[in-house]
Structure 1
Amino acid sequence: MLQTINANYETFLQQFKDRARLLITCPDQQGIVAKVSKFLYEHGANIVQSDQYSTDPAGGTFFMRVEFDLPDIVMKKEELEKDFHHIANSFQMKWKFSYMSHVKRMAIFVSKQDHCLLDLLWRYQSGDFLCEIPLVISNHPDLQKTVESLGIPYYFIPVNKENKREAEQKQLELLQKYQIDFVVLARYMQILSPEFIRHYQYNIINIHHSFLPAFVGARPYERAYDRGVKIIGATSHYVTENLDEGPIIEQGVKEVNHRYNVEDLKRVGRTIERDVLARAVQLHLEDRVIVYENKTIVF
């Protein structure tokens, strides 16, 4: 399996080694697209995709995602970013270049339920996710054999009220050791501390088994059943200090009726959770998400 994954990396890196993405947020005004396009043209880049959105053309906020090719970009990126500062300052931009030659490194946190974890690992194994998964961290030992059979290190770090701070410190040390870019909570049934979250702001993706903002917190399927809901769903969002209230990346729903009991809702919900989390991870990997206030612009 690892040979297949490595082959996918090699093909990917050869095909896209000179490709990058530019994400921009700034006050809307005339000339932004023209200035950015001219800048890339003058630096020898070829734009392959460009998307933009404005909340209000008359004084709103402007968002832009540009994907472009630039020969030998790895050697030129320092100069590229230095030169872009002038345009960015003139338009009061928040901006980020993302280089596809850097394969993102994703850590997965999981508890006992395996459906989201297994789906992520399958997509990784099949090459759907062009990323690296250097480790899996869990507060239970149950899934260790499954993960390690794929050649991925598994770290069992118990978490309780007494040792939570110490456990999170161990987790952060591992994330730093493995140079992790972002974290995916694949039904990790622990609330992360504000201190932990600040280390990976808008780089922790959670799947909540509810169509937020309905049924925040624990036991959402039971509470949904008690309310007699006609749709159930799942929500993937960035983790913030406010529980289950971070910017939403992706959602999914399915119609249900009075014939569904709690276990039926959970069974259907697991399928929705897998799909929604996978789509959110893919969007993050492709730099298609811009966080604005407590919402997201998804290109």
Structure 2
Amino acid sequence: ERVQRYSWRTTAEEVLKGIDLSGKTALITGTNSGIGIETARSLALHGAHVVMANRNIPASEKLRDEILAAKPDAKVNILSIELSSLKSVKKAAEEYLAKGWPLHILILNAGVFSQLTKDTDDDLEATYGINHVAHFYLTQLLLSKLKQSAPSRVVIVSSHLHNNTNIDVSLPVEEKLKILTPDVGTKEPGMMSFYAYSKMCNILFAFALHRRVNQSGVNVYVLHPGVIKTALHRGGGLFFKIFQFLGTPFFRSIEQGAATTIYCATDPELDNISGKYFENCWDDEKRLQTSLARDEVLQEALWKHTEDFLREYENK
């Protein structure tokens, strides 16, 4: 019987106490700011081979050098990826596979939250395209490697803000799907909602993925990391300035913010647990908007919608 050992105050380092990750390879998107930095750092310092998939290569090199300064025998590689371009996502996956590395831990951590983000190269609304579609595609392209490397884990960083979609649960599934997957050029209802939709998509994707891959030894976890002062909010405008001013006591340090990601990626007590939503290093569904998130018909509709889009993209 599992007991809750951690709280919102727990740090990544505390979760990793006594855990040796030698022989494990982890691919993480978005390690140049916030939680991503600490996720990459703490895994590498505990012996994992860490592959950082980022757009900003100089920042990635700086982090790699910092990790190597702390642990000269650390194994850290950098993979160039631009999540707003499916072509770049495919190229990154092909580069990864060409290296012949195993893949024990895939952490989908990158995200955008900004009024300034342009639509993607593939004509998707940016928040949806980057936070959901690009990560879905990357996972598909690496799935055979995850299965070959089993037991393996996919860890998806969502947000408590998935609760803020304001979608009427009584709507038909087609209507819900239309709201969650905004067309390019959609301006209403605005950034906050688009972000919430994309984070709900992360959860729907996680649960549908779990059903497909868990029999093959791949575990899937989706989580809320806690509110952190992070570069994700740079483009958030006045709303976030006020929120940061009012919210300071509730903000976690980056070390605390990464704890749940690290818990899902590494803790042995989760070996036989998959398809769950985590907060504060615990699978707490009290804080999950289950009426949407646990709707299997909606999960499957989003899966098909995304797959159809990617099939069209591949056939272009």
Give the structure-1-normalised TM-score.
Answer: 0.44
Q: Which has the larger radius of gyration?
A: 1
Identify which of structures 1 and 2 has the higher relative contact order when contacts are C-alpha pairs closer than 8 Å and 6+ apart: 2
Compare the two structures and name the one with the higher strand fraction. Answer: 1
